[in-house]
Amino acid sequence: MPPIFDPLYFSTVSMDILAMGRASARARATRQRQRFDALLTCALRESRFYQKHLRGAVGGTTRLESLSSVSRQALMAHFDDWVTDPALTLAGLQAFTADSGRIGQPYLGKYLVWESSGTSHQPGIFVQSAQAMAVYDALESLRRSSLQSMQRWLDPLMLSERFAFVGATTGHFASYVTLQRTRELNPWLAPSTQSFSILQPTRTLVDALNAFRPTVIATYPTAAAMLAEEVRQGTLHCTPREVWTGGETLSPAVRRNIEQALGCTVRNSYGASEFIFMAWECAQGRLHANTDWVILEPVDERGQPMPAGEPSYSTLLTNLANHVQPLIRYDLGDQITLYHGRCECGCTLPVIEIQGRRDDPLVMAGKRGRPVTLLPLALTTVLEDEAGVFDFHLRQQDDHTLELYLPLQGPEGRTAAQRCCDALQRFAAAQELKPIHVRLKLGQTVPRGRSGKAQRIVAQTRR
């Protein structure tokens, strides 16, 4: 079955994206309003959930700011009424995503499907049409700043590049699904594009990367920092030209550490399962939000708009590309800061700063006398996928002891806790750690930061 792709719509969207990158704020606001009106009209006509949730709204006249926000929990609880195609059902999609052999395959022959992690303590399933994917494809291909412009000109098919994706490969996650789709759409890239699981032992991962010798690595900031340490230890020998990061907060210190160790340039991006390509970093190192296709509203604790230059409590997202699964003023939970003013790069799209996930890597005692770094995304994937637990707080006590906080209690809590302990023990053994001890804290409230998200993985405080 061919991958999901609409070449005609991709061409149309690409021309508009090129124009909007340098358009005035007024021109972009006009385009944004047109797309919002079309989205709202579709949602009110086809989505039973939005017909009730936005009762009284009228496509073409109602202002976005007047509409009520919505949470993932509410949308997932009414999934079959939320989507605009009645052939899409939560039960059918859950069965589809439960099969790892179907990652990247079309659903019903016309949809791409990915699942989110449980960061907001409610896993999500997101369905993309060919038209939505055409928008994402065009944004990625036209707005990601190329660091090797002359080389790209001489090698437009990127045949000399070797791309390594280091991330979660055990589920239908957005990054991995889109990677698999890219390989199918561009078969000439398949031999030079490989994925590497962050769940495998670090030594195995390093050996695989040394053998592959990637020129570009796409991964999470904590994973890139771990690879930087492997370079300093003399075990990782590959020398990529670029490292693409996303999915976690990238601090200036972590960026410098990665660039110095790997001898390359780091290019950061911002995306989520709800809109995979929300912002790309320009040559000036600033993130530009793709506001011609996504609306981001920084809000305070009461849901009121935040002034430019001040970090938000949360962010409301409206996806203008996806009419199959409308997201209108969706509470994303991320803390962002929006800036006005023109960037030195010449792009007129607004600049944003992201304060996203703040989970820590854990440095634990290894069997071979050398510390072993456990990546936060690997730990959360183990607890989510293997133990089936999404609301938790894992805190390191020392280099062989972890404390696990679960809101659950009673028989259900004890059963879930045992699954978590077993999964963590297996993972620790696979990573060649010395035996670890997991202390259980049942019936505990999971700590949350100012953004409303929990910091789920916390390292030991060093003195």
pLDDT in tens, 134-162: 999 999 989 875 545 545 544 555 667 99
Q: What is the pLDDT of residues 87-130, one digit of tens each?
A: 999 999 999 999 999 999 999 999 999 998 655 557 899 999 99
Reference 270, options 343, 331, 346, 352; nearest CA is 352
Q: Is the pLDDT of residue 388 over 90?
A: no
Closest-CA residue to 38 (of 348, 331, 293, 305) = 293
Residue % of the chain over a pLDDT of 90 = 69
Identify the weakest region by mean pLDDT among 12-26, 238-252, 312-326. Answer: 238-252
> How many Å is the maximal CA-CA distance in the chain?
67
Those residues with Cβ within 8 angstroms of residue 49's Cβ, 6 or more apart along the chain or in another chain? 75, 78, 81, 82
d(CA 113, CA 129): 9
Tell me the pLDDT of the chain averaged across its residues.
Answer: 90
Q: Confidence class of residue 462 from pLDDT cuts 50, 70 and 90?
A: low
pLDDT digits (tens, 9 = 90+) for 204-241: 999 999 999 999 999 988 889 889 989 988 999 998 99
Q: Say yes or no to pLDDT of 360 above 70.
A: yes
Q: Is the pLDDT of residue 82 over 60?
A: yes
Asked if 67 and 329 touch (Cβ cutoff 8 Å), the reply is: yes
How many Cβ atoms sit within 10 Å of the Cβ of residue 232? Answer: 11
pLDDT score, position 452: 40
pTM across the whole model: 0.85
Looking at the chain, the whole-number percentage of residues with pLDDT higher than 70 is 93
The secondary element (H helix, E strand) that includes residue 411 is helix 410-430
DSSP 57: -
Q: Which residue type sits at 250? A: L
pLDDT at position 229 is 86
Q: What band does 79 get if pLDDT is binned at 50, 70 and 90?
A: very high
- Domains of the chain, each with CATH number or no CATH: 7-355 (3.40.50.12780), 362-458 (3.30.300)
Q: What is the pLDDT of residue 340?
A: 85
Contacts 24+ apart (CB under 8 A), 435-441: 435/400, 436/364, 436/400, 436/401, 436/402, 437/400, 437/401, 437/402, 438/401, 438/402, 438/403, 438/404, 439/397, 439/401, 439/402, 439/403, 439/404, 440/403, 440/404, 440/406, 441/403, 441/404, 441/405, 441/406
